[in-house]
Amino acid sequence: MRQLVCKNFTEFKTYEGKDLPVGAWLTVTQDMINAFAEATQDYQWVHVDLERIEKESPFKKPIAHGFLSVSLLSKMLMDLVHIESMDMGVNYGLNKVRFPSPVLVDSRLRLHSTIKKIEPYTDNGLKITWACTVEIDNVDKPACVAEFVSLMFEDR
């Protein structure tokens, strides 16, 4: 996996409108699904009840929470972009989020993304809109399609 490395925000801004390298594969395990259920208190049976899933689910395997897929965007983007002068980044929001295909346990996911828009935000910050598609290995439809909006702040 390649990573986009920029010295500072000035260099990073030259990538507006451009695709990032394709991300590395990440496997969604049952431990991840269980931890997400614990953190969000969302214990719906399709995620965590292995006996019931085997008997009643059309998928016959646990599926990850849709919000687990979208929650991975931060990590996946951080793996793809490094700005040496950046002090911190925070989530700002999401636009147009969809979950076209369920993520079965032990599926491999990877990110395809574009830096859609970069705007100034305070005197040392940027607001970035990322166009993101989370691919599932060997599945036609993606796990998640979203515009992810983040803020980044540069060292002063």
Q: pLDDT tens across 45-103, in order?
A: 999 999 999 999 999 999 999 999 999 999 999 999 999 999 999 999 999 999 999 99
- Residue 88: what are its φ and ψ, rounded to 5°? -165, 160
Exposed (0-12), middle (13-18) or buried (19+): which is 10, by Cβ within 10 Å?
A: exposed
Let me know: does 63 contact 47? Beta carbons within 8 Å.
yes
Which residue in 110, 112, 107 sits closest to 64, CA to CA?
A: 107
**Mean pLDDT in the chain?**
96
- The answer to whether residue 22 scores a pLDDT higher than 80 is yes
Q: Report which of 107, 135, 110, 144 is spatially closest to residue 32, judged by C-alpha positions.
A: 107
DSSP label of 18: -
Burial class (CB in 10 A: 0-12, 13-18, 19+), 149: middle
Amino acid 155: pLDDT: 83
Q: What angle do CA 98, 82, 108 make, to 5 degrees?
A: 40
> In angstroms, how far is CA 51 from the centroid of its own chain?
29
Residue 1 has pLDDT above 90, yes or no: no
pLDDT value of residue 32: 98
The CATH number given to 11-154 is 3.10.129.10
> What pLDDT digit, counting tens, does each position of 125-138 carry?
999 999 999 999 99
Q: Does the model's pTM come out above 0.85?
A: yes
96 by Cβ neighbours in 10 Å (0-12 / 13-18 / 19+) ranks as: exposed
With vertex at residue 13, the alpha carbon angle to CA 96 and CA 82, rounded to the nearest 5 degrees, is: 85
